[in-house]
């Protein structure tokens, strides 16, 4: 028992555990951060690992100090003063590795573990998958164990007790964590402006459409959002998930400008069919939301614009869930500004296009007929729907319509809109998604990036803004069936799920649906729990406003802690071990004839007392006593003790 304080040198065991934690903490960042930072931190960690074997390589502070300054400058040079997700994660993993390199004392271990806890949450800023969450729980447990080993100063992991204790602490912390998670008042929006790094490498529909871009998305299996319908969903061919509306084009690409005029009421001639549904939107770092056709109302913290887009004030950087009602009604009003914007022809509109449009218009009596003429043109001419169209030059619409005639939905929509405008029909492009996969297991629709689609809305006098999908005229199977992504990826060309899968394919599909279902509940239950969902969820329980949340947060936490105290202090009185149990029952057995064992007596004393009363028992009691002492205090097995007690009891019966 030597004197031991916080200044003690760390044990190799806690250092080893710490190193394992260090490597495991850097690992999830490999895909997220710049490789130089990963390499630096892994190198520092490896250095520390080497010093386990060769302690002479432990750096002294004259080496560590310049190294730290150098690394700090390196980070500063890379990120400047903008301290966002990438910069802070890089800084933290380098800091963790540096601190580990410097780790000598017991309190250094504590500091390193604390940094480790912070590093633990940084990968979630990039990806919040369920796998990563489970992985992080394991590291969390390991960090707790490291603290525990460090505090107790154990040199080996022989005893399982400490591991069990850290697991117990973790399990008992979960209810309190849930109370905090559910009731801690959530705020909307960042506390300070986030640097733009948060939107790096997010695939999805962006604020410009150029013909090649949507076809890139067609090969992405990433989930854009998921939807559950209350009641019957519409048919597959009517699942048009409407996103941003585009008016402006330079003849090559379309640019999203947004529309901040709020919407008026929808008008409808016949009673519209309404659909109610909930969308779990993945963070797409854009300001718009998707809805089925035209939404009837806005959702919390959003605006509904004049052209019926749901718009957020900030880019969406988190999972968001919202419930909407949509109908197939349309908007008949056309304001002057909108009319101007939706008739504006790009400067490079060729004479060919103008004369083709003129041709359509001359041969039809009204606008609807003109639209149909144009669709028929696509259908009857040898247009071809493909993922790999030939490259187009300076005037893509003209080249596509009259030369290549091969294209993807964006080519058709773009050319069609220009044709309509040339025929003096107001037209605009809508980007969004079409269709989706119905996961029968989880009962939800999954809309993938591969379902990205572009279509057109034209304004007709009688029906107002009307959806026209030129792609449907060329490739109706695109609209009628969901995209077969696996096939599409293999062939590199558009493929649809026309026949039902069978055999192994059916099995893999089921497995995929199961994983998607788990992910869906993860997304909708855990990740989408933000300010809006919290308010809605707690409202059901009668908790309104943040003061109420704080109040109940306090009440529940204290209540749980009291319960835990009661459980820990009053529940388990220690159970005697097996040998003790057998001995106690044996003594009880003896007490019937020879008097009870007094609490102050040892077993040997009691047996001596019994022997005095009946000397015949001397030998067998001696054996029992010896066996008991051997197995309880020595290293002997419990079996001989059991046997001797059993033999004694049997002989007692014989005596009778």
Partner 1 sequence: MPLTFPQRFSLRRFTQGEMATTSAINLDHRRIFILPSRSGLVLALVILLMLIASINYNNSMGFIFTFLLASAAQVSSFYGFKNLSGLTIQAIKSDPCFLGEKAYYKLSIKEKEGRERWAIYIQLGDKVECIKNLKPNQVITLTIPVEPKKRGWFSADTITFFSYFPLSLFRAWSPLRFDQKILVYPTPSANKLPLPIVSIDKAEGNSISVQQGSEDFDGFRHYQQGDPYRRINWKALAAGKGVFIKQFTSPLADEVSLNWSSCHANNTEQKLSQLCEWVIKAQQDGLSYSLKIPSSSYDANQGIQHQLRCLKALALYK
Q: List binders of partner 1 among 85-114 (CB under 8 A).
A: 85, 88, 107, 110-111, 114
Which residues 143-172 are close enough to bind partner 1 by CB under 8 A? 144, 147-148, 150-154, 161-162, 165-166, 169-170, 172
Cβ closer to partner 1: 115 or 494? 115
Helices (H), 184-259: 211-217
Closest by alpha carbon to 342, among 193, 182, 460? 460
Which residues 526-555 are close enough to bind partner 1 by CB under 8 A? 526-531
Regarding 3 and contact with partner 1 (CB under 8 A), the answer is: yes
Instruction: Enumerate the β-bridge partners of residue 105.
Output: 9
For the beta carbon of residue 453, count every other beta carbon within 10 angstroms: 28
Cβ at position 47, least distance to partner 1 in Å: 25
Applying CB under 8 A, what is the total number of residues that bind partner 1? 72
Do the beta carbons of residue 339 and residue 417 sit within 8 Å? Answer: no
Cβ closer to partner 1: 88 or 350? 88
Regarding 494 and contact with partner 1 (CB under 8 A), the answer is: no
Cβ closer to partner 1: 205 or 528? 528
Contacts of 312 (CB under 8 A, 6+ apart): 287, 288, 289, 301, 302, 303
Regarding 1 and contact with partner 1 (CB under 8 A), the answer is: yes
Helix (H) or strand (E) holding 2: none
Cβ closer to partner 1: 23 or 522? 522
Cβ at position 3, least distance to partner 1 in Å: 5
Q: Which residue has the tokens 């912390």?
A: 173
| DSSP type of residue 105 | B
Cβ at position 521, least distance to partner 1 in Å: 13
Q: Which stretch binds partner 1 (CB under 8 A): 210-218, 263-271, 483-491, 561-569?
A: 561-569
* Structure token digits, residue 609: 């007392």
Q: Which stretch binds partner 1 (CB under 8 A): 3-11, 271-279, 346-354, 535-543?
A: 3-11
Q: Which stretch binds partner 1 (CB under 8 A): 17-25, 129-137, 229-237, 593-601?
A: 129-137
Regarding 133 and contact with partner 1 (CB under 8 A), the answer is: yes
Which residues 45-74 are close enough to bind partner 1 by CB under 8 A? none
Cβ closer to partner 1: 114 or 496? 114
Do the beta carbons of residue 123 and residue 136 sit within 8 Å? Answer: yes
Which residues 317-336 are close enough to bind partner 1 by CB under 8 A? 317-319
Cβ at position 190, least distance to partner 1 in Å: 5
Regarding 81 and contact with partner 1 (CB under 8 A), the answer is: no
Q: Which stretch binds partner 1 (CB under 8 A): 236-244, 411-419, 562-570, 646-654?
A: 562-570
Helix, coil or strand: residue 345: coil
Cβ at position 551, least distance to partner 1 in Å: 18
Cβ at position 120, least distance to partner 1 in Å: 6
Helix (H) or strand (E) holding 591: helix 578-594
Helix (H) or strand (E) holding 152: helix 130-152
Using CB under 8 A, which of 174, 498, 505, 514 touches partner 1?
A: 174
What binding mask, one character per residue, do residues 216-245 give for partner 1 by CB under 8 A, x or -? Answer: ------------------------------
> How many residues in total does the chain contain?
656
DSSP 478-541: HHHS-B-HHHHHHHSS--B--SPP-THHHHHHHHHHHHHHHHHHIIIIIIT-SHHHHHHHHHHT
Sheet containing 291-292: order of strands: 291-292, 240-246, 427-434, 452-460, 464-468
Do the beta carbons of residue 414 and residue 397 sit within 8 Å? Answer: yes
Closest by alpha carbon to 281, among 533, 581, 601? 533
Q: Which stretch binds partner 1 (CB under 8 A): 31-39, 189-197, 388-396, 428-436?
A: 189-197
């Amino acid at each position: 028992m030597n004197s031991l304080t916080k200044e003690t040198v760390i044990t190799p065991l806690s250092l080893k555990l710490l190193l394992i934690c260090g490597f495991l903490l850097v690992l999830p960042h490999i895909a997220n951060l710049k490789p130089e930072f990963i390499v630096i931190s892994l190198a520092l960690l490896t250095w520390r690992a080497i010093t386990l074997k060769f302690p002479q390589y432990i750096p002294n502070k004259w080496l560590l100090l310049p190294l730290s300054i150098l690394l700090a400058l390196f980070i500063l040079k890379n990120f400047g003063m903008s301290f966002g997700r990438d910069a802070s994660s890089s800084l933290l993993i380098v800091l963790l590795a540096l601190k580990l390199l410097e780790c000598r004392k017991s309190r250094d271990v504590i500091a390193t573990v604390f940094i480790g806890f912070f590093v633990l949450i940084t990968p979630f800023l990039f990806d919040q998958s369920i796998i990563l969450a489970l992985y992080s729980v394991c590291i969390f447990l390991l960090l707790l164990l490291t603290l525990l080993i460090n505090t107790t100063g154990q040199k080996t992991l022989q005893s399982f007790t400490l591991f069990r204790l850290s697991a117990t602490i973790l399990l008992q912390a979960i209810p309190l964590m849930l109370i905090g998670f559910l009731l801690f008042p959530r705020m909307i929006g960042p506390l300070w402006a986030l640097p733009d790094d948060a939107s790096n490498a997010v695939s999805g529909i962006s604020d410009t459409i150029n013909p090649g871009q949507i076809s890139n998305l067609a090969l992405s299996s990433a989930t854009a959002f998921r939807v559950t319908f209350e009641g019957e969903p519409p048919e597959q061919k009517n699942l048009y998930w409407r996103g941003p509306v585009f008016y402006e084009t330079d003849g090559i690409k379309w640019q999203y400008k947004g529309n901040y005029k709020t919407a008026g009421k929808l008008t409808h001639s016949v009673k519209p069919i309404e659909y109610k549904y909930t969308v779990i939107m993945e963070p797409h770092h854009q300001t718009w939301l998707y809805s089925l056709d035209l939404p009837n109302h806005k959702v919390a913290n959003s605006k509904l614009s004049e052209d019926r887009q749901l718009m957020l004030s900030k880019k969406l950087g988190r999972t968001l869930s919202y419930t909407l009602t949509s109908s197939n009604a349309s908007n008949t009003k056309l304001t002057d500004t909108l009319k101007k914007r939706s008739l504006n022809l790009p400067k490079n509109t060729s004479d060919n296009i103008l004369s083709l449009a003129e041709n359509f218009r001359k041969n039809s009596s009204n606008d609807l007929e003109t639209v149909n003429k144009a669709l028929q043109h696509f259908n009857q001419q040898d247009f071809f729907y493909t993922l790999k169209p030939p490259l187009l030059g300076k005037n893509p619409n003209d080249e596509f319509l009259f030369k290549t005639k091969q294209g993807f939905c964006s080519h058709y929509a773009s050319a069609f809109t220009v044709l309509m405008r040339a025929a003096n029909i107001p037209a605009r492009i809508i980007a969004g998604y079409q269709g989706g996969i119905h996961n029968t297991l989880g009962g939800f629709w999954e809309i993938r990036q591969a379902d990205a689609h572009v279509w057109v809305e034209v304004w007709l006098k009688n029906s107002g803004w009307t959806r026209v999908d030129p792609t449907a005229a060329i490739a109706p199977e695109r609209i009628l069936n969901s995209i077969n992504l696996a096939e599409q990826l293999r062939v590199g060309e558009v493929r649809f799920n026309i026949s039902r899968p069978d055999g192994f394919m059916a099995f893999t599909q089921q497995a995929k649906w199961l994983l998607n279902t788990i992910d869906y509940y993860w997304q909708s239950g855990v990740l989408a729990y933000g300010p809006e969902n919290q308010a809605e969820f707690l409202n059901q329980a009668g908790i309104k406003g943040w003061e109420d949340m704080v109040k109940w947060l306090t009440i529940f936490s204290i209540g749980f802690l009291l319960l835990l105290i009661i459980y820990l202090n009053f529940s388990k009185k220690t159970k005697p071990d097996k040998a003790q149990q057998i001995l106690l029952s044996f003594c009880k057995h003896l007490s019937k004839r020879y008097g009870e064992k007094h609490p102050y007596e040892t077993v040997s004393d009691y047996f001596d007392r019994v022997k005095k009363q009946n000397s015949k028992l001397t030998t067998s009691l001696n054996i029992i006593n010896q066996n008991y002492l051997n197995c309880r205090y020595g290293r002997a097995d419990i079996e001989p003790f059991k046997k001797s007690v059993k033999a004694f009891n049997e002989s007692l019966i014989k005596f009778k």
